[in-house]
Amino acid sequence: MADAVAAARRAYERVWSKMSGRDRGKYLFRIARLVQERARELAVAESLDNGKPIKESRDVDVPLVAAWFFYYAGWADKLDHAGLGADPRALGVAGQVIPWNFPLLMLAWKIAPALAAGNTVVLKPAETTPLTALLFAEILQQAELPAGVVNIVTGAGETGAALVAADVDKVAFTGSTGVGRAIAKQVAGTQKKVTLELGGKAANIVFDDAPIDQAIEGIVNGIFFNQGHVCCAGSRLLVQESIHDEVVDRLKQRLSTLRLGDPLDKNTDIGAINSAAQLARIRELSDVGVAEGAERWSAPCELPAEGFWFAPTIFTGVETSHRIAREEVFGPVLSVLSFRTPQEAIAKANNTPYGLSAGIWSDKGSRILAVADQLRAGVIWANTFNRFDPASPFGGYKESGYGREGGRHGLGAYLAPAASRSARAARAVEASAAPAAKTRPAAKADAEAKPAPAKRSRRTSKSAEKGAAK
């Protein structure tokens, strides 16, 4: 880890911070094109590593990865026009830790804005899903990115802790609330900037005037996408009392059509649970739900004999005090609650320590806006769910973390205005004058300046000509 951070520091000081935004943008653009060229390979690796259906990694994850790099490639030479303060400049070295549920997409969410802003990166993927991060390292070499600008270090929790403790200027973490809380304590009192994107227990609110057919599909996508391994999953379904039974019946009919099985089968809707530990957690909370008095229904899926599998499950008769309504299951488990009035729906939706996301389903725009204004959630979808775009900021508050990723707000997380930069420079001068100042460990190889790519790869596919999907 020390060598990786030292290499990133040298690359920042000697190469990346001295390069024009226009040239940095060319590298990001080339990376996006190469992601498109290797899309099939990346999609297969992501499904093998994570367990998600190939149609999700192929049609959602990988296109969004390319879109993120295309988007921030366009920002690299326009930082002065992003509305992020006077003469914004890079922080330096960013330490980034990503989770196992969207390994490649979370990598793009973090690396793309960091590089566009002029930072260098040390990234640690989750220990159970490192494959696409390693393939991405090959793409960086293929793009001829200068050595040391991005460093990928695999390992378990202690590796991530070492990165947070290292000589980095920025820490970006996506993962559990418990680990995020520990990171916040660890960096308190330091000059490191922090972005934390943590857990969630999102409410998906369906009013009696909602477009029911559309809502059913949105509910399914909101909780069963990626086997429910989504921090912003709509794991609490709040249905107005007058349509509760109809929605539950139609939801059961829809879930009965879902196909569970081999993630590499293009017809699969529900893939494998990522690990034995996660499967045990899902089973434990499901058993607790039954013990607390909720009624459990599971889709009639035939589970494969080997591997980690869990059928899509609905709990009805759930109370706000039940653990399955309060704790993040992080699996294909939906808790259904009812409400009579909008104020009751708002109260139940806000009755959680989390504040990451929410959904509202109604034909009345005025009702959607009025309810959204009172929900304590960072991201709110209207008549849809789990929609992402690189231009749109994403993040929560309360125990769901702080800071934003995506859009120009995501750039701001990796930039410092002139005043902040001057104060940091003054502290650096004081530190260098101290007699016991420590030198950074030497890396194996210095970062060498390379000219920005003048030509795109000859292997660029026709689909790349059209830009990023979605």
Cα distances (angstroms) measured from residue 53 to each of 60, 177, 203, 411: 11, 26, 25, 31
Residue 154: phi, psi to the nearest 5?
Answer: -90, 160
Question: Which residue's structure tokens are 């209207």?
Answer: 382
The tokens of 341 are what? 């009035």
Question: Which residue's structure tokens are 């290499």?
Answer: 7
- Integer Cα distance of 142 and 136 in angstroms: 10
101: which DSSP letter?
S
User: Which residues, including other chains, have CB under 8 Å from residue 146's CB and lie 6 or more apart?
Assistant: 11, 15, 16, 447, 448, 449, 450
The one catalytic residue among 37, 46, 56, 197: 197
Active site residue 56: no
DSSP string, 357-378: EEEEE-S-HHHHHHHHTT---S
Strand partners, 416: 89
Residue type, 11: A
Pairing mode, strands 313-316 and 333-339: parallel
Q: Which of 202, 246, 239 is nearest to 221 (CA)?
A: 202
- Integer Cα distance of 243 and 347 in angstroms: 19
Positions annotated as catalytic residues are: 197
